[in-house]
Amino acid sequence: MKRIIVVAMLLVMAAGCRQKEEPRPQYQVPAGGDMHTQEEMRLLKEAVKKDPGNVNAWIKIGNSMMDASRFSEAIDAYRKALQLDEKNVDVRVDLGTCYRDMGKPDEAVKEYRKALEINPGHLNGHKNLGVVLAYDLRDKAAAIKEFERYLELAPSAPDAATVRQEIQNLKAAK
């Protein structure tokens, strides 16, 4: 949701400033979150070809591929980003989500746990780990722990009521 709002704001700002914009070099990474146009993807691929150490471009390629449900390509891009910045927790969590969406929950759990080793307070790491444990690996007790940890860290999160209800559902299903 946050990504959509940022993209919408950037598009509004860009539309108002079009006449003032100076042409960008073709290798520059486009601003914004979603990269769904062929031109933007071409620019990103050109950017990493010219500068394979451009971690932000690799992340944007991964995000774009993930958004397009092209999980294998997203995983490749995220792995390249992690080679450059192995402690990037958000990329690790996104990588885990790609693995889950590809039907590889064990790999997802590994990535979520690596992310939580780096940052034990990462909310999405706990929540996503809880989801995989509950629904893919059927480890309700471990899932409940992750969801409870999420609520300890963010008791007023927008989805806190939903997470609390999920905990109750998992406890009732024991």
If asked whether residues 71 and 49 sit together in one domain, one would say yes
What is the average pLDDT across 16-43? Answer: 50
85, 115, 147: which is the final residue of a domain? 85
Claim to verify: residue 73 and residue 106 sit in the same structural domain:
no
User: Is residue 127 within a helix (H) or strand (E), and if so which, with residue range?
Assistant: helix 123-131
Question: Which of 31, 50, 85 is at the close of a domain?
Answer: 85
What's the pTM value of the predicted model, to 2 decimals? 0.76
Q: Is pLDDT of 20 > 70?
A: no
Whether 56 and 114 share a structural domain: no
pLDDT at 174: 64
Please check whether residues 100 and 72 belong to one and the same domain: no
Does residue 129 have a pLDDT over 80?
yes
Pair (76, 133) in one structural domain? no
Same domain, 97 and 155: yes
| Same domain membership, residue 129 and residue 80 | no
In 35-60, which positions are buried (b, 16+ CB within 10 angstroms) versus exposed (e)?
beeeebbebbebbbeeeeebbebbbb
Are 78 and 4 in a shared domain?
Answer: yes
Same domain, 12 and 94: no
Residue pLDDT, tens place only, 151-161: 999 999 999 99
| 39: confidence class by pLDDT, cuts 50, 70, 90 | confident
Q: Are residues 75 and 92 in the same domain?
A: no
**The tokens of 110 are what?**
């590994």
Residue 1 has a pLDDT of: 42
If residue 60 lies in a helix (H) or strand (E), which one and from where to where?
A: helix 55-67
What's the CATH number where 161 sits? 1.25.40.10
The structure tokens listed for 154 are 């963010």
Say if residue 25's pLDDT is above 80: no
- Domain encompassing residue 101: 87-174
Across the range 81-89, mean pLDDT stands at 97
CA distance 27 to 150: 40
- The total number of structural domains in the chain stands at 2
Pair (74, 95) in one structural domain: no
Residue at which a domain ends, from 64, 85, 106? 85
Report percent pLDDT > 70 for the chain: 78
User: 159 and 97 share a domain?
Assistant: yes
Mean pLDDT score, 62-76: 94
